[in-house]
Amino acid sequence: MSEEQRRGIGVALNESDWVGIAVEPAARRVEVAFEVLSLPAGCTPVGLVLDGVSRVVASLRHGRWGDASAPVETFALDDLGGVVRGFGGGPVHGWEFIDPPERDWLTWKERLSLDVSLRREPGRHVLDLFQEGDDTLPPRHLDLRVWFDTLRITRAGGAEIPLPDFIESGRRLWSGFQARRTA
Please give the single-letter amino acid code of residue 107: T
Domains of the chain: which residue ranges?
Answer: 3-182
CA distance 175 to 40: 13
The DSSP code for 95 is S
Give residue 6's pLDDT: 94
Give the gyration radius of the chain's Cα atoms: 16
CA distance 40 to 8: 19
Give residue 106's pLDDT: 95
Give residue 151's pLDDT: 97
Give residue 178's pLDDT: 63
Give residue 172's pLDDT: 80
Give residue 127's pLDDT: 98
- Asked whether the beta carbons of 23 and 56 are under 8 A apart, the reply is yes
CA distance 26 to 172: 37
| Cis? peptide before 40, omega within 30° of 0 | yes
Count the neighbouring beta carbons within 10 Å of the beta carbon of residue 52. Answer: 18
Predicted confidence pLDDT, tens digits, the chain (183 residues)? 999 999 999 999 999 999 999 999 999 999 999 999 865 555 689 999 999 999 999 999 999 888 888 999 999 999 999 999 999 998 998 889 999 999 989 999 999 999 999 999 999 999 999 998 866 667 899 999 999 999 999 998 889 999 999 998 888 876 655 666 665
Helix, coil or strand: residue 74: coil
Give residue 42's pLDDT: 56
> For residue 133, what are the contacts with CB-CB under 8 A and spacing of at least 6?
87, 90, 139, 140, 141, 142
The DSSP code for 115 is E
Give residue 93's pLDDT: 87
Closest CA to 152 of 29, 22, 11, 4: 29
Q: Tell me if the pTM is above 0.85.
A: yes
Give residue 41's pLDDT: 58
